[in-house]
Amino acid sequence: MRFYISADIEGICGVVSREHTRPGGFEYEAARDWMTQSTIAVCEAAREAGATELVVSDSHGNGQNIRMEALPDYVQLVRSWPRPLGMMQGIEIGPFDGCFLVGYHAGGSNPGGVLSHTMSSEFIHEIRLNGTVASEAVISAALAGAYGVPVLMVASDDVGVAEMRSELGDHLAAATLKQAYGSYSALNPSLSVALARLRMATTEAVALAGKVEPYRIDGPVELEIDLRTRFVAEWLSYLPAVERRGAYTIRYRAVDILAVSRFLMFLAFARMATSP
Ligand SMILES: [Zn+2]
């Protein structure tokens, strides 16, 4: 059996501040270790449950948070950006029996959750697919679905887990890694308890392989983005494929979810490339 892990940092036990998420920030190096240990806990539990190979996507920030020297030799690691499948790059080298979303977080328009956002807290407020609010977890699940891979496990704070269950359905394992008090505060178990929860959820998830349908969003897909600044909406509307729906909102009709991902990656990197 082969499994795929998309790893983010905001939902990891102990991570509560923006400083934790950025190189150079207070305790960032520690947060990398917590993310690395969390990823390894999932890999080891999957291996013990029968996995022969795993692909991990480092899907946060610069895509170079996980300490690759610590990973076991049955794991391959996707690092750095840009890449057309974003947080799910590597899913295309399947087949995989399932995927796990680890350290994910609630979406930008959820009033609760630690460090909740969708793709970028600086320039995106909300993303909708075919009129329904879509978190990063939904976009990742739909990209996995395009390759026939079901999401079998999510790991986040309690708000993120509840949101992902409501979006993706109850037929998946989940690990709650902290209780959110708000955007920058949480009640955290000890790291060893969080790692034990990840191992337990992974064991449950591997047992679900073959029993869960992939989450699919068939094309064409209508992508709407509420941006945080008028200028980005204005600037994107210069593209003939983009329609401006309001001062802050643009719409793009994508042929499929893979084109949605390419558009979002283009947006993220065009924005980064034009930022001072
Ligand atoms: Zn992140």
Q: How do residues 199-257 score in pLDDT, each as one tens digit?
A: 999 999 999 999 999 999 998 999 999 999 999 899 899 999 999 999 999 999 999 99
Of the candidates 223, 257, 188, the one whose C-alpha atom is nearest the C-alpha of residue 38 is 188
For the residues 6-27, what does the mean pLDDT come to?
Answer: 98
Distance 25 CA to ligand 1 centre (A): 14
Alpha-carbon dihedral angle through residues 56, 218, 1, 6, given to the nearest 10 degrees? 20
**pLDDT for residue 275:** 57
Whole-number Å distance, alpha carbon 240 to ligand 1 midpoint, is: 31
Q: How far is the CA of 148 from the centre of ligand 1 (A)?
A: 25
pLDDT of residue 123: 86
Q: Please tell me the distance between residue 8's alpha carbon and the centre of ligand 1 in angstroms.
A: 5
Sign of the alpha-carbon dihedral angle for 38, 40, 42, 44: negative
225: enclosing H helix or E strand: strand 221-227
Q: What is the dihedral of CA 162, 164, 165, 170, to 10 degrees?
A: -150
Residue-level pLDDT at 258: 98
pLDDT tens-digit readout, 52-95: 999 999 999 999 999 999 999 999 999 999 999 999 999 999 99
Residue 276 has pLDDT above 60, yes or no: no
- Please give the mean pLDDT across all residues of the chain: 96
Between the CA of 115 and the centroid of ligand 1 the distance, in Å, is 9
Give the pLDDT of residue 122: 83
For 83-126, what is each residue's pLDDT tens digit? 999 999 999 999 999 999 999 999 999 999 999 999 988 889 99
Which residues have CB less than 5 Å away from ligand 1 (the ion)?
A: 8, 10, 60
pLDDT at position 116 is: 96
Q: Does the pTM of the predicted model rise above 0.85?
A: yes
pLDDT tens track for 134-185: 999 999 999 999 999 999 999 999 999 999 999 999 999 999 999 999 999 9
Ligand 1 center from residue 173 Cα (angstroms): 21
Structural domains for the chain? 2-109+136-208 (3.40.50.10780)
With residue 271 as reference, give the H or E element that holds it.
helix 257-274
pLDDT of 114-145, one tens digit each?
999 999 888 899 999 999 999 999 999 999 99
